[in-house]
């Protein structure tokens, strides 16, 4: 076959948003290739998720269902996925750059004797030979490169929030059952304990207030936190973000970082305070619905992408904004 295949992820019985983004990317690639689009789901109770996936218009939904696939075990999922790929024989296979994708991708590439490109932020088809062109940040996010690798399947993991999620389609795809041949003897690594890590999920925020080098010192984030609290009374989930410089200076933890080497986001409102607007940062937030820039440098790049710009010292503007928001709430 010559399909574009997507590895779907199911959370609490429904497709994860990253899967819908992958389907959006896969749909375009399949159209450019003149190929079909399929999705593979893995787990032990997939009927509802498979029907949901079929409603988004792939040609086929491959359902790898087995009691041993309940929960994520890398050894069993890898063996099942290897078997499925040999049956399906896809031209391109895409995974999310998530924990599952990062765990399975390298090992699957080795087993299928192909090459993997991780953390892609753009994908396209070379019109001359139909090979997948994979764009990703390199050199610590200081440059962006395009990779072209021989071998089938063309394998890549894709960063979240870089493709538009697919919309439901008029027709439903065919659901195909594949029963993997697995048993407990294949398990080499056993999880002793799963510890939930508390991280800042910037990509889930409605509003992100970010600070950069222009804050001058760590205390500047205390003022941004006050603005975030004032905004949260009217705009739902509001989180604090930052540029890479703020992380490098030790002012705030790396899970707050927006950009190529941080998180790519598209909130309803993005407030950039004291951020110059280096390309690595702009790539991470330029798809925000509304961008507000506050900076005392009128020539900074952030003003070029902002919907609203304020050329003023943030220490003068932020308290005034907080006061106005509190008066109107």
Task: State the angle between helix axes of 314-328 and 220-235 in degrees (0 to 180), rounded to the nearest 10.
Answer: 30
Q: What residue spans define the domains of the chain?
A: 4-186, 202-328
Long-range contacts of 136-141 (CB under 8 A, 24+ apart): 137/260, 137/261, 137/280, 140/261, 141/244, 141/259, 141/260, 141/261, 141/280
Give pLDDT, residue 161.
87
| CATH number for the domain formed by residue range(s) 202-328 | 3.40.50.1220
**pLDDT tens-digit profile, the chain (329 residues):** 679 999 999 988 899 999 999 999 999 999 999 999 999 999 999 999 999 999 999 999 999 999 999 989 999 999 999 999 999 999 999 999 999 999 999 999 999 999 999 999 999 999 999 999 999 988 877 788 999 998 999 999 999 889 999 999 888 899 999 999 999 999 998 878 877 777 788 988 999 999 999 999 999 999 999 999 999 999 989 999 999 999 999 999 999 999 988 999 999 999 999 999 998 899 899 999 999 999 999 999 999 999 999 999 999 999 999 999 998 87
Q: Do domains 4-186 and 202-328 have the same CATH topology?
A: yes
Class for the domain spanning 4-186 = alpha beta
Query: Whole-model pTM?
Result: 0.85
């Amino acid at each position: 076959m010559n399909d574009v295949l997507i590895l779907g992820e199911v959370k609490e019985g429904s497709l994860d948003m990253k899967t819908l983004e992958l389907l959006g990317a896969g749909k375009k690639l399949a159209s450019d290739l003149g190929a079909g689009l399929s999705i593979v789901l893995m787990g032990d109770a997939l009927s509802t998720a498979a029907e949901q996936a079929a409603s988004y218009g792939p040609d086929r939904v491959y359902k790898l269902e087995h009691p041993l696939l309940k929960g994520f075990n890398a050894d069993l999922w890898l063996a099942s996925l290897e078997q499925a790929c040999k049956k399906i024989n896809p031209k391109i296979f895409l995974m999310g750059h998530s924990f599952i994708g990062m765990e399975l991708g390298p090992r699957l590439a080795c087993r299928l004797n192909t090459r993997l490109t991780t953390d892609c932020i753009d994908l396209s088809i070379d019109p001359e030979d139909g090979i997948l062109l994979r764009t990703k940040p390199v050199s610590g996010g200081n440059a962006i490169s395009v990779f072209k690798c021989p071998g089938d399947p063309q394998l890549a993991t894709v960063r979240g929030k870089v493709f538009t999620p697919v919309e439901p389609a008029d027709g439903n795809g065919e659901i195909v059952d594949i029963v993997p041949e697995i048993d407990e003897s294949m398990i080499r690594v056993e999880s002793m304990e799963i510890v939930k890590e508390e991280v800042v999920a910037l990509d889930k925020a409605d509003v992100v207030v970010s600070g950069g080098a222009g804050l001058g010192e760590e205390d500047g984030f205390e003022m941004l936190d006050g603005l975030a609290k004032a905004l949260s009374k009217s705009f739902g989930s509001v989180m604090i973000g930052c540029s890479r410089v703020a992380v490098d200076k030790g002012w705030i933890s790396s899970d707050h970082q927006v950009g190529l080497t941080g998180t790519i986001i598209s909130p309803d409102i993005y407030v950039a305070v004291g951020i110059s607007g280096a390309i690595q940062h702009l790539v991470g937030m330029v798809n925000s619905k509304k961008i507000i820039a506050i900076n005392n440098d009128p020539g900074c790049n952030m003003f070029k992408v902002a919907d609203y710009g304020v050329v003023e010292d943030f220490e003068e503007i932020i308290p005034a904004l907080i006061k106005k928001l509190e008066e109107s709430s």
